[in-house]
């Protein structure tokens, strides 16, 4: 939770602050006690640019009153909590203006303090103007640190401030009194989710579903969601995959008196790199799509490194002392420059006089200067391909793992194979048992990933016509053969490098096209399915069947033709849809339009 009471780095005290003692020594301490503001950035995940900064308050450093928790507890005990809140708001706005920070300013205030502001002389619009700020730059976060007041009391005041250009946010949605009812009442521009939804989200499907649901609701409400409490790259990437627009937390930057402005391009690069790598892997249905644990980082083993000047004898001794040590990285200034291999050095020193001749020589003489080096966020499937394809590494058992170019440790091919096997077993839980194609969970994740990455694609809903009467007439075994035929046809005409194929269930399939010629591919699917259906009946010993008699859904005798294929396609441009639910609905409607036409048909919905 990011609030006025958050901890931050220490602000250097001035001589006047150092001279301060117990604030309660001064009867008017609420107005005179030294306060400083620190600011924590909030970033757009898609662009890596800054949305704004949340202003947080700090007391005198190296005193019991540095943390706002203590200050506010003291103020509330004296009945002056609201007065302290008002002063904090003034301090934060004035210091934000003085720093000329980019983006919007997010300021926390309780409902009671907001209601009391006009009577206490706190005019936000006037204060912003005096500080040289436009009213549109301010976002007032409604906090819930005490019993919630009636939202109806807030609505007129909020409407007045909104008319002046001020925006509002609900802070820590899902914690305390911040709930959906308040969202309905206040209709804020921003929603900040509680950090409890983010901690370990990469390993928790329920947390992922909660954030996806919040993102979907926000899309309907026209609100922007900020996920608070981001502390790791895995949390950041997973939050982005759930469609969350913005994020805030220690991983991005800690609250500072003068926040850095240089980290956004690097943050954007990290996220873009992870998303593109994940998209390259998505065509393999045997792996869980976008699984946050499928990265090289999970293979990391801590192995002490040496510099290139260390003697070969010293390295030889390390290998002798540790029988399970096969690779020693050579690192200079935190950057890996090579590896020393156990087999190579021990074999060399086993020859006559080699140890005596080269024992005191620097180990760089025996260093492999072209080791396989991978970033910790390299997908496991990509790493497996690199190991298989890279020249000179076919026999390698270890590789170097880095983070932002700095040496972290090593990984082994054996650990990689075991990790891939675990991921395949996990993915099997979401695969359709008949076709082994990804099911609903991977399909939903893939659509959400495309949306979060702002990528154009086309969603195709494939469905068979008259499949139930065919099953009734010829039996479920032949019906399963038709499903498998459709699976083969669709697989044959998707681009393995760019498209995604999933099986919803029964005779319903989803294709997510990112290949540019998807319309041509779709027509080939229709043609090949019709040919395959005719051939299937011949191979099943049913002859050249074109019509057969059975009962319809109302139990009346009727003649039907062989199953045909309907494809409903919806092109999805960036920003056209806000959630996977909207896309699924549009694709289903397009499929229904295709089914209204006789025979195998393609319908493309171009309304968006």
Number of Cβ within 10 Å of residue 421's Cβ equals 10
Task: Choose among 206, 183, 242, 187: nearest CA to 45.
Answer: 242
Mean pLDDT of 392-402: 68
In order, the DSSP letters of 265-330 are HHHHHHHHHHHHHHHHHTT-TTS-TT-TT-BGGGG-B----B-TTSBHHHHHHHHHH-TT--EEEE
Q: Is the pLDDT of residue 481 over 80?
A: yes
Q: Is the pLDDT of residue 9 over 60?
A: no
Euclidean distance between CA atoms 357 and 84, whole angstroms: 76
Contact 40, 247 (CB under 8 A): no
CATH class of 26-281: alpha beta
* Reported pTM: 0.46
Burial class (CB in 10 A: 0-12, 13-18, 19+), 86: buried
Any idea where the domains of the chain sit in the sequence?
26-281, 296-421, 433-604
pLDDT at 20: 47
pLDDT in tens, 314-354: 988 888 888 888 889 999 988 999 999 888 888 788 888 78
Mean pLDDT of 431-435: 81
Euclidean distance between CA atoms 163 and 144, whole angstroms: 24
Q: Is the pLDDT of residue 15 over 60?
A: no
Task: Choose among 97, 104, 108, 89: nearest CA to 41.
Answer: 104
- Sign, Cα dihedral of 469, 472, 474, 476: positive
**CA geometry: angle 85, 86, 91, nearest 5 deg:** 95
Euclidean distance between CA atoms 291 and 430, whole angstroms: 12
Euclidean distance between CA atoms 135 and 31, whole angstroms: 25
pLDDT in tens, 278-300: 333 333 333 333 333 467 877 88
> In the chain, what is the greatest distance between 2 CA atoms, to the nearest angstrom?
101
Residue 497 pLDDT level (bands cut at 50, 70, 90):
confident
Q: First vs last Cα of the chain: how many Å apart?
A: 38
DSSP state of 578: S
Mean pLDDT of 534-555: 82
The beta-strand segments (E) located in 313-368 are: 327-332, 335-341
Crossing angle of helices 440-452 and 233-241, in 10° steps, is 100
Dihedrals phi, psi of 382, to nearest 5 degrees? -65, -45
pLDDT in tens, 146-187: 444 556 778 889 989 999 999 999 888 866 555 677 788 888
Torsion of CA 464, 468, 471, 472, to 10 degrees: -160
Euclidean distance between CA atoms 218 and 221, whole angstroms: 5
Task: Choose among 194, 189, 211: nearest CA to 144.
Answer: 194
Torsion of CA 424, 427, 428, 432, to 10 degrees: -140
* Mean of per-residue pLDDT scores for the chain: 81
Euclidean distance between CA atoms 23 and 13, whole angstroms: 16
Helix (H) or strand (E) run with residue 40 in it:
strand 36-44
Determine whether domain 433-604 maps to CATH 3.40.220.10.
no
Euclidean distance between CA atoms 437 and 428, whole angstroms: 9
Query: What is the Rg, in whole angstroms, of the alpha carbon atoms belonging to the chain?
Result: 31
Residue 485 pLDDT level (bands cut at 50, 70, 90):
very high
Residue 508 pLDDT level (bands cut at 50, 70, 90):
very high
Cα→Cα distances 70→58, 67, 77, 143, 226, Å: 11, 6, 11, 18, 27
Determine whether domain 296-421 maps to CATH 3.10.580.10.
yes
Mean pLDDT of 210-227: 84
């Amino acid at each position: 939770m990011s609030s006025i009471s958050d901890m931050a780095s220490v602000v250097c005290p001035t001589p006047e602050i150092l001279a301060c003692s117990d604030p309660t020594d001064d009867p008017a301490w609420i107005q005179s006690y030294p306060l400083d503001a620190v600011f924590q950035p909030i970033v757009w995940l898609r662009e890596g640019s800054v949305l704004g900064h949340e202003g947080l308050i700090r007391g005198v450093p190296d005193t019991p009153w540095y943390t706002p928790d203590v200050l506010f507890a003291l103020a509330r005990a004296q009945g002056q909590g609201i007065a302290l809140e008002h002063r904090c708001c003034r301090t934060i706005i004035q210091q934000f203006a003085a720093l000329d920070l980019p983006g919007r300013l997010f300021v926390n205030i309780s409902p009671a303090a907001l209601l009391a502001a006009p009577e206490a002389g706190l005019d936000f619009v006037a204060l912003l103007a005096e500080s040289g700020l436009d009213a549109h730059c301010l976002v007032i976060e409604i906090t819930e640190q005490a019993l919630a007041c009636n939202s109806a009391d807030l609505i007129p005041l909020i409407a007045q401030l909104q008319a002046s250009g001020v925006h509002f946010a609900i802070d820590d949605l899902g914690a305390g009194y911040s709930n959906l009812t308040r969202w309905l009442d206040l209709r804020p521009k921003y929603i900040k989710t509680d950090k409890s939804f983010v901690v370990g989200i990469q390993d928790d499907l329920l947390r992922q579903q909660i954030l996806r649901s919040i993102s979907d609701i926000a899309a309907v409400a026209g609100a922007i969601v900020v996920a608070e409490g981001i502390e790791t790259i895995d949390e950041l990437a997973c939050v982005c995959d759930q469609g969350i627009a913005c994020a805030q937390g220690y991983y991005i930057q800690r609250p500072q008196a003068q926040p850095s402005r240089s980290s956004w391009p690097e943050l954007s690069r990290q996220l873009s790199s992870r998303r593109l790598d994940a998209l390259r892997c998505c065509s393999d249905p045997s792996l869980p799509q976008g699984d946050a644990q499928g990265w090289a980082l999970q293979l990391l083993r801590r192995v002490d490194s040496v510099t290139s000047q260390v003697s070969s004898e010293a390295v030889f001794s390390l290998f002798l002392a540790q029988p399970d040590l096969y690779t020693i990285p050579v690192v200079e200034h935190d950057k890996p420059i090579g590896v020393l291999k156990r087999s190579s050095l021990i074999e060399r020193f086993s020859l006559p006089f080699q140890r005596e001749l080269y024992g005191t020589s620097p180990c760089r003489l025996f260093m492999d200067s072209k080791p396989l080096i991978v970033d910790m966020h390299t997908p496991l499937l990509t790493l497996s391909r690199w190991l298989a394809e890279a020249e000179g590494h076919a026999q390698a058992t270890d590789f170097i793992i880095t983070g932002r170019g700095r040496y972290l440790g090593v990984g082994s091919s054996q650990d990689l194979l075991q990790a891939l096997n675990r991921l395949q077993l996990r993915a099997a839980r979401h695969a359709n048992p008949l076709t082994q194609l990804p099911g609903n969970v991977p399909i939903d994740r893939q659509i959400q990933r495309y949306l979060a990455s702002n990528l154009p694609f086309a969603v195709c809903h494939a469905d068979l016509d008259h499949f139930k009467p065919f099953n009734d007439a010829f039996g479920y075994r032949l019906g399963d053969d038709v499903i498998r035929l459709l699976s083969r046809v669709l697989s044959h005409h998707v681009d393995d490098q760019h498209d995604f194929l999933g099986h919803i269930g029964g005779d319903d399939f989803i294709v997510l096209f990112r290949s540019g010629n998807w319309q041509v591919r779709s027509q080939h699917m229709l043609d090949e399915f019709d040919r395959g259906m005719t051939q299937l009946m011949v191979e099943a010993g049913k002859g050249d069947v074109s019509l057969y008699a059975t009962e319809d859904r109302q139990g009346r005798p009727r003649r039907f033709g062989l199953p045909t294929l309907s494809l409903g396609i919806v092109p999805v441009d960036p920003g056209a849809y806000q959630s996977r639910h909207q896309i699924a609905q549009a694709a289903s409607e397009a499929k229904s339009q295709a089914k209204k036409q006789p025979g195998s048909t393609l319908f493309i919905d171009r309304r968006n």
